[in-house]
């Protein structure tokens, strides 16, 4: 069920980008919502669970996660939070961008292989849909063939399930579950706050984006109460 849901999120994002082609403003609203939802699940659910274990220096692994995501964003050019810039004079396809996105997707799938956490699953799904839309828009503007685009999207769709499968089927990984979750917390904190901090243009108040953020916070909180 987890594998299917993760793949379906990418498939839905692909269809949305390919047939609807959302405008930049609509995509920014979706990103704001996903960032708020992801941050809420991280703060209200993941962080309390990790610190409840009372493992010494667990906060260090959260910082490692933040540093790791900074490195991944160097590769992905910030595609995780909506920053993919297309330059018409580029002659080389940015394989590092795809490497960064796929590594990020693999890592975020690992905690799902260690624990059946539906709240985390929903957070990843909500985050993955706009990222897929951004990736598809980028690929369609990169002069790739349809086969190349489909191949890249299929690989991206499989990365989170692969991360989950890897964590689930290697027994030695279970003893590092708390540390892995802490690293993912750092990754999510960096991504979600980057989305929210960048959601306001020129630091001006935008009612639509503010509303989408509040909806994201509220919906995440409501799911945790169920």
Q: Count the domains in the chain.
A: 1
Residue 70 counted as domain residue: yes
Residues of the chain with pLDDT under 50: 85-91
pLDDT value for 83: 56
pLDDT value for 13: 93
Residue 20 counted as domain residue: no
Query: Strand (E) positions, 71-123?
Result: none
Residue 112 counted as domain residue: yes
Range of the structural domain that residue 202 is part of: 2-14+25-225
Query: Mind listing the pLDDT tens digit for each residue in 100-153?
Result: 899 999 999 999 998 889 999 999 999 999 999 988 888 888 778 889 889 999
pLDDT value for 72: 87
Residue 117 counted as domain residue: yes
CA distances from 3 to 6, 15, 121, 161 (A): 5, 19, 10, 5
In this structure, what token pair is assigned to residue 108? 């975020």
pLDDT value for 87: 46
Residue 106 counted as domain residue: yes
Half-sphere exposure of 43 (CA within 13 A, CB side): 13
pLDDT value for 206: 80
CA distances from 53 to 56, 107, 179, 182, 197 (A): 9, 21, 10, 11, 31
pLDDT value for 202: 58
pLDDT value for 19: 82
The whole model's pTM is what?
0.88
What lies within 8 Å, CB to CB, of 77 at 6+ separation is 83, 84, 85, 94, 97, 100
């Amino acid at each position: 069920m987890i594998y299917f849901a993760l793949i379906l999120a990418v498939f839905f994002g692909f269809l949305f980008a390919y047939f609807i082609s959302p405008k930049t403003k609509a995509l920014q609203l979706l990103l704001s919502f996903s960032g708020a939802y992801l941050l809420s699940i991280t703060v209200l659910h993941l962080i309390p669970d990790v610190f409840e274990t009372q493992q010494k220096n667990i906060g260090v692994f959260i910082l490692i996660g933040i540093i790791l995501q900074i490195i991944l964003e160097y590769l992905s050019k910030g595609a995780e939070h909506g920053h993919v810039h297309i330059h018409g004079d580029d002659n080389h396809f940015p394989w590092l961008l795809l490497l960064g996105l796929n590594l990020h997707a693999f890592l975020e799938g690992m905690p799902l292989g260690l624990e059946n956490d539906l709240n985390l699953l929903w957070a990843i799904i909500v985050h993955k849909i706009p990222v897929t839309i951004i990736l598809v828009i980028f690929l369609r503007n990169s002069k790739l063939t349809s086969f190349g685009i489909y191949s890249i999207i299929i690989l991206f769709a499989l990365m989170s399930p692969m991360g989950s499968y890897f964590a689930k089927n290697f027994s030695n990984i279970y003893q590092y579950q708390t540390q892995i979750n802490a690293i993912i917390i750092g990754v999510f904190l960096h991504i979600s706050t980057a989305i929210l901090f960048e959601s306001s243009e020129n630091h001006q108040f935008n009612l639509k984006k503010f509303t989408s953020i509040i909806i994201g916070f509220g919906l995440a909180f409501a799911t945790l109460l169920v």
